Structure 1
Amino acid sequence: MNKSDLSEELAKKAKITKKLANQVITLFTDIVREKVNEGEKVTLVGFGTFKAKYRKPKAVRNPRTEKRMIIPASRVPVFTVGKLFKEEVNNKFLHDQSELTKEEKIE
């Protein structure tokens, strides 16, 4: 699903125009990016948390040339899945697995 598909789905469920839904999604992602860039966490309880994480510099070796290089320190965006979201996805997986097992027994 891409942004356009998500806008369509949001428009249907919220009974708003696709244009407005697209604007809402754009504003949401802009705000999340802005707050994470400012060092804040953005937490949606049950869904997950967006934050920036410091990555230490590290020494690596180029496998082709064997030359040692240093990857500089950086901040990277991280999304941590919320407990409820994780459980929902896992429960769907377990349900699908049990349905497959039932079908295998029938055949």
Structure 2
Amino acid sequence: MTKKEFVEDIATRGEYTKKEAEKIVNLFLETVEDNLEKGNSVGFVGWGKWEVVERAAREVRNPQTGKKMKIKAKKVVKFKVGKILEDKVKAAK
């Protein structure tokens, strides 16, 4: 699902105009981004949690050339799915 399709789905389900739905989706995304930038986690009980984690520096091997490469430490966003959402996805056919 693309962002455009997501906005259209929100507009239909919530009986909003597409413009209102887009504003809601953008506000949600900006709020999540702002909190992650500040180092805060964002979670919804039963649904899931986004958090920023530090990935350690490490040495890897290029599978094509076999040459060793170093990857610097960096911050990444991690999402952990909640139990309710996990169960719904498992049950879906």
TM-score, normalising length from structure 1?
0.79
Bigger share in helix: 1
Gaps of 5+ in 2: none
3-state SS in 1 of match to 2:87: helix
| Partner-residue secondary structure (3-state), 2:76 | strand
Q: Give the Cα separation in 2 of the matches to 1:6 and 1:68.
A: 42
1:53 aligns with 2:53: yes
Asked if 1:87 is matched to 2:71, the reply is no
Once the two structures are superposed, the pairs formed by residues 18-97 of structure 1 within 5 Å of their partners are 18-92=18-92, 96=93
> What secondary structure sits across from 1:23 in the alignment?
helix
When the two structures are aligned, how many residues end up with a matched partner?
93
**How much is the aligned-residue C-alpha RMSD, in angstroms?**
1.3
- Once residues 2 and 36 of structure 2 are traced to their aligned partners in structure 1, the CA distance between those partners, rounded to angstroms, is 22
TM-score normalised over the length of structure 2:
0.90
CA distance in 2 between counterparts of 1:3 and 1:64 reads: 35
- Per-residue CA deviation, residues 31-52 of structure 1 (Å, 9 max, x unaligned), is 1011111111100112110111
Aligned-residue offset at 1:7: 0.8
Structure with bigger gyration radius: 1
Deviation (angstroms), 1:88 = 0.8
- 1:14 equivalent in structure 2: 14
The amino acid across from 1:12 in the alignment is: T
Q: Say which structure, 1 or 2, has more relative contact order (CA 8 Å, 6+ apart).
A: 2
Counterpart for residue 99 of structure 1 = none
Change in 2 beyond 3 A, CA 1:22/1:66: same
- For 2:89, the aligned partner's letter is V
In the alignment, structure 1 segments of 5+ residues that lack a partner are 97-107
- C-alpha displacement at 1:29, in angstroms? 0.8
Q: How far has the Cα of 1:91 moved from its partner?
A: 1.5
